Structure 1
């Protein structure tokens, strides 16, 4: 029996998930503030994408109309808020947990679909939400009393990240749907530029130093921008339409799963038996949330 999707698309999707799973690692490695590192992620990515925009054929497909540009500005506002909270969550609670919390965005999207668009979530959504919350409780409840205020704020930032990222996806989806002749690479470039312009004053007002501290910081920031923002996003964006919802959801679950692997290998974070069960339940719940709707809707909503 042959698959309805090309194996090359499956391999590319898995590669994209692996690439973006490294995001939180670079944030942890960088010695500058969380907002400053977010600014460099988007600023350096914009510079790197100029290599694509320099092509003669790309110059004809880079300028969006006023409506699409407005949606890109809105998407950048949400994305700047997302990175502001997520980078702090990474530093406060760790690479794996912060990434898992951010993936709860599937339920923020479901809430938008239900309350704004009148969509019906179905049993998969409710079962997924209950499983994800039960898994999160298993991850947090046993040690909750011993967690300090910084850790608890990090949990709140992680859940706020999910809401902000959901808002970003809604706005960016709308912009992509109306982009007409504008290339996907150009849409990503505009997003990077606009988000960097928002993060720059946020960093300065927060009293963070923008200057990276030596070769180590520059290397981590450059890798962050190139691997996670440019390569990861471009790969995923190209192959998403070629895969069914279930396969896409499983591939995207590599991001939070591998984040825990990187957390264990690089930073010594360990989960006990209860924590492993909680992680498995949360991932299963997120998967059900990713594939809750019709096959046409789920791939787009699974973009996180």
Structure 2
């Protein structure tokens, strides 16, 4: 490999790590805002749809901004899954914490593999099954030390976190289908449509749930704007641009930064601490998720799309 090629590879690796680190901050902003969990999800998608308009100044994006009816339909279904995903994930974050809520969402790699196995007839290979067992055993170790003392709210948060994994897998299935049929439509345009559809659904869900839509002053506005810009816009666009340039194994390791860093933010900002057994559980869960991400030597693009919400 030439010096220029090595520098290019290092640059791609650094960009991928940056994208995963950006997305890892998502749950922090959810904890910081003072409005309800559905309302904060609406603002994430609503503000992101406005911010993404900046990409329409590019001729390629502007020329291919409107997909055909079939692709729009797939994006609408993907947006429905993503809205449900955020509805559950935000509650999981508030109920069980930043780190555990993010880790549970990353279990979507196994929900997606289950769809591939039972619907598409795909073989997961040994990595999938070993990864699933490791992840479940690690989760059990994370929860076992305090399970008897957890209240109903915490246990509901666990259920919401696992539900997030299933909903995010549904989003990936339909969003990838839309990408496969997008023709000349730019990926940025697909992301914009998905944000618009999701924001509309989350607006209806917020109003139906009786939550207030109004952020409580500059602190809330700053957190919501950062949430939309850092997690939804920059994080997704950086990962989407770099993911075809790196092998699946490297991408899988980079993407593990998201749940790992979420525990770092949880400890630094919210005082969450893990004991030795819980640390072992976290390590085993991350190892299992890594094996799930790289199951069957899948394409790098598919691996990178498996980043959690």
TM interval, shorter chain, is over 0.9
CA contact (8 A) 1:29 1:220 kept: yes
Q: CA deviation at 1:54?
A: 3.8
> Residues 241 and 31 from structure 1, CA distance in 2 versus in 1: closer, same or farther, beyond 3 angstroms?
same
1:198 corresponds to which residue? 201
Alignment match of 2:277 (pick from 247, 267, 274): 274
Q: Aligned partners of 1:46 and 1:136: how far apart in 2? A: 35
Unmatched segments (≥5 aa) in structure 1: none
Match of 2:154 in 1: 151
Retained in 1: the 8 A contact 2:240–2:304? no
Aligned to 2:175: 172
Q: Please state whether the residue corresponding to 1:31 is helix, strand or coil.
A: coil
Paired with 1:14 and 1:57, the residues of 2 have a C-alpha distance of: 27
Shift of 1:59: 1.9
Asked if residue 262 in structure 1 is aligned to residue 280 in structure 2, the reply is: no
In 1, Cα distance between the equivalents of 2:82 and 2:264? Answer: 25
CA contact (8 A) 1:27 1:37 kept: yes
> Mind listing any 5+ residue stretches in structure 2 that lack a counterpart?
none
Moved more, 177-186 or 147-156: 177-186
Number of equivalences: 304
Partner-residue secondary structure (3-state), 2:297: coil
Deviations, residues 27-56 of structure 1 (Å, cap 9, x unaligned): 000000000000000000000111112444
How far does residue 301 in structure 1 lie from its aligned partner after superposition?
Answer: 5.3
CA RMSD of aligned residues (A): 1.4
Match of residue 123, structure 1, among 104, 123, 126: 126
| Distance across 2 between alignment mates of 1:302 and 1:212 | 31
Q: Distance in 1 between matches of 2:84 and 2:151?
A: 24
Normalising by the residue count of structure 1, what TM-score does the alignment of the two structures yield?
0.97
Q: Deviations over 1:3-40 (max 9, x none)?
A: 88721111110000000000000000000000000000
3-state SS in 2 of match to 1:181: coil
Which TM-score applies when normalising by structure 2? 0.96
Q: Where do residues 234-245 of structure 1 align in structure 2 (5 Å cutoff)? A: 234-245=237-248
Q: How does 1:53-202 map to 2 (within 5 A)?
A: 53-202=56-205
Cα drift, residue 303 of structure 1: 3.8
Are the aligned partners of 2:27 and 2:262 in contact in 1 as well (CA < 8 Å)? yes
In structure 2, C-alpha distance between the alignment counterparts of 1:301 and 1:120, rounded to whole Å: 19
Per the TM alignment, residue 296 of structure 1 is displaced from its structure 2 partner at its CA by 2.2
